[in-house]
Amino acid sequence: MTQPMTPHSPPSEATAAAREIAATVDQVLLRESLSNELKLAYVRGLLLMVSTSLDILVFFFPQALIGQPSVPPTIALIGILATTLSLAVWAWLKGRRRVGLKALPVVIPIFDGLLVALFITNIARVLGESHPQILTNITAFCSLLAVSGGMRLYRRASVLTTGLALANFIYAAVLFQLEPGIALFASITILGTGFLGMWMATIVRRQVKSEAGRLVVEWFLPKTVVETAFEAPMELLRTPQSCVVTVLVTDLRNFTHYAEKLEPVAVLAFLNRWQEVQSQIVTQYGGWVDKFMGDGMLAVFGAPERLDNAAEAAFQAALTILHKVEDFCPLPIGIGLHSGEVVAGCVGSGSHLEFTVIGDAVNVAARIEGLTKSVNQPLLLSQTTQQQLEQSSQGELRSLGPLLIRGREESLEIFTLR
């Protein structure tokens, strides 16, 4: 059933798009944060398993390893408990399929801080006075805790891990009665490690945002173009590609006259919705939108990514657009298809560049779309495109014979739907 355009002011599609872009950036950050959290869980689990194995050996062979007749079983039991909890956290993180827990950069560092405090307490009770050199290990653990915040991408995580690391080391210095000078030097070292983690978090976050930006830019340009722009930008500027493509041009009939009855905001909202529908269909069939022209669109199939049958993909996209427009608005549509060689590359000056396709095929496709008005048919395609279609698709077409194309001396055989 036709849904006519209404003059009321619907929600702004531009605002919705901005929200969607912001959500995309947040999701990329959260996904990368979760991935880094999983890597930290691997390291945490490995360190605790090694530490617990040594604790168990010390419990069974205290005289040979530390020169004491015996040690309490808590040294091994606490290590086993900490390892079990760490493995449980690792399994929980690995099992997550959806990103959404923004508290991770806070909750997991607190868990790490408690583990370090438990480790310090256990060692101090068992080996503190007889083995003060264990403070070297404690300093290393605190430094690891401080720098781990940098992998969590959020500054608050770096501040939290640095604070927890300093608090744990001060706690150890009190338990071991460390000299103030040595404690101060070690604390400054841990603090410096924490600041390094903060800078690392800024760098990693910037890289992740760059990746999110790449994903957003893919909404505007073909994926291969975006990848080239990020990986080898000079290559994109220097090497235009010659491609055989099928060009699809659309245009709504009498839209200018119809839009006179609407408020500008309603016109913009309708165009945003309609162009979104068209672009989704083009993408679905492997093409990309070169440009929007008011209520019209120019799409390309077969460049810069090659398609096995670009003409068939463009034809199926055109049929889908024809079906969609009947449900979308009361206006008729004109669609033109033509296949030929084009050059794909960047056009413009240093202040503004545009990736586009240039060639006679683009002009002919636009002229064929213009013919839809005079022959009163919604879809026209050239013989060049018709010959590249599958047999089943060719059976849906009939010839209108040779027709003159504006701007060309020779006529072209044009086909339309039966």
Residue 1's pLDDT band (cuts 50, 70, 90) = very low
- In this structure, the dihedral spanned by the alpha carbons of residues 19, 23, 25 and 28, taken in order and rounded to 10 degrees, is -170
Scanning 61-154, the segments in alpha helix (DSSP H) are 62-66, 74-94, 104-127, 135-148
- Encoding tokens for residue 400? 């209108």
**What span, in angstroms and rounded, lies between the C-alpha atoms of 54 and 67?**
15
pLDDT recorded at residue 120: 85
In this predicted structure, the answer to whether residue 58 has a pLDDT above a threshold of 90 is no
Beta-bridged to residue 356, according to DSSP, are 345
Mean pLDDT value across residues 265-291: 88
pLDDT recorded at residue 3: 45
- Encoding tokens for residue 14? 């531009």
More confident residue, 120 or 377: 377
In this predicted structure, the answer to whether residue 43 has a pLDDT above a threshold of 90 is no
Mean pLDDT value across residues 317-344: 90
**What span, in angstroms and rounded, lies between the C-alpha atoms of 99 and 96?**
7
pLDDT recorded at residue 268: 86
Residue 353's pLDDT band (cuts 50, 70, 90) = low
pLDDT recorded at residue 235: 59
In this predicted structure, the answer to whether residue 4 has a pLDDT above a threshold of 50 is no
Residue 62's pLDDT band (cuts 50, 70, 90) = confident
Beta-bridged to residue 298, according to DSSP, are 249, 291
In this predicted structure, the answer to whether residue 336 has a pLDDT above a threshold of 90 is yes
pLDDT recorded at residue 231: 61
Please tell me whether residue 412 adopts helix, strand or coil conformation.
strand
Which is nearest to 11 in space by CA: 3, 23, 22, 19?
A: 19
Which is nearest to 317 in space by CA: 291, 343, 341, 297?
A: 297
pLDDT recorded at residue 161: 92
pLDDT recorded at residue 378: 94
More confident residue, 160 or 409: 160
**What span, in angstroms and rounded, lies between the C-alpha atoms of 56 and 80?**
9
Is residue 118 within 8 A of residue 165, CB to CB? The reply is no
For the chain, how big is the Rg over CA atoms in Å? 33
Mean pLDDT value across residues 91-112: 73
Beta-bridged to residue 347, according to DSSP, are 354
How much of the chain, in percent, has pLDDT values that exceed 90? 26
pLDDT recorded at residue 137: 79
Q: Is the peptide bond before 304 cis (omega within 30 degrees of 0)?
A: yes
Please tell me whether residue 239 adopts helix, strand or coil conformation.
coil
- Encoding tokens for residue 117? 């405090």
Please tell me whether residue 204 adopts helix, strand or coil conformation.
helix
pLDDT recorded at residue 127: 65
pLDDT recorded at residue 7: 40
As annotated, the residues of the chain forming the CATH 3.30.70.1230 domain(s) are 224-417
Among the residue ranges 196-205, 266-275, 328-337, the one predicted with the least confidence is: 196-205
Residue 237's pLDDT band (cuts 50, 70, 90) = low
Among the residue ranges 4-8, 100-104, 143-147, the one predicted with the least confidence is: 4-8
**What span, in angstroms and rounded, lies between the C-alpha atoms of 224 and 397?**
33
Mean pLDDT of the chain: 81
- Find all residues with CB under 8 Å of 173, minimum gap 6, and list them: 135, 183, 186, 187
Q: What is the pLDDT of residues 173-198, one digit of tens each?
A: 888 888 888 889 889 999 998 888 88
More confident residue, 145 or 220: 145
Q: What is the pLDDT of residues 368-417, one digit of tens each?
A: 999 999 999 999 999 999 999 999 999 999 999 999 888 777 889 999 99
CATH 1.10.10.10 fits 224-417, yes or no: no
